[in-house]
Amino acid sequence: MSSGAYSQRLPVLATIVIALMLSIIPLPDSLEPFRPDWVVLALVYWAMMLPRTWSVGSAWIVGLVLDVAQGTLLGQHALALCVVVFVTVRMHLLMRVFPAGQLMASVFSLLALYQFILFWVNGVAGIPVDAMHYWAPVVSGAVVWPIVNSLLNGVRMRVH
């Protein structure tokens, strides 16, 4: 890999590592259900902006790391992230030109799809989880999306 390609991938990897750290940092029990899905938000952004570089394969690897970090079923987050990133890559040209409200609604839908897949896998495995732990991150993720989008836009503009 050339040093130019490496210097362009390093900030993206750094944002994904920061998202992974934000996903596993301890929170008080009352705030835990409202933790946004930082990894999903970061991967949706990079799949939307750089779909040839950050796609389903990178989502699979990041999902496996997230599974190991959170101690969940191996492949659960990987499957959900792959589906969400696949949909994002297929729709990336449309999503780039959406107005802010429509993009926020699209991200809300992607987060809901992600949580539904996790809900389905846990249901098949017989793991009971409170409904608040599934649907509160969808709302909080959609609310913080404009902030994440503007921060990652700043990173992308400096690098690319």
Instruction: Write the pLDDT tens digit of every residue in 104-156.
Output: 999 999 999 999 999 999 999 999 888 888 899 999 999 999 999 999 999 99
| Phi, then psi, of 90 in degrees rounded to 5 | -65, -30
User: pTM of the predicted model, to two decimals?
Assistant: 0.94
Instruction: Write the pLDDT tens digit of every residue in 7-62.
Output: 778 999 999 999 999 999 999 999 999 999 999 999 999 999 999 988 999 999 99
Distances (CA, A) of 103 to 89, 91, 142, 146: 14, 11, 9, 9
Q: Is 29 helix (H, G, I), strand (E, B) or coil?
A: coil
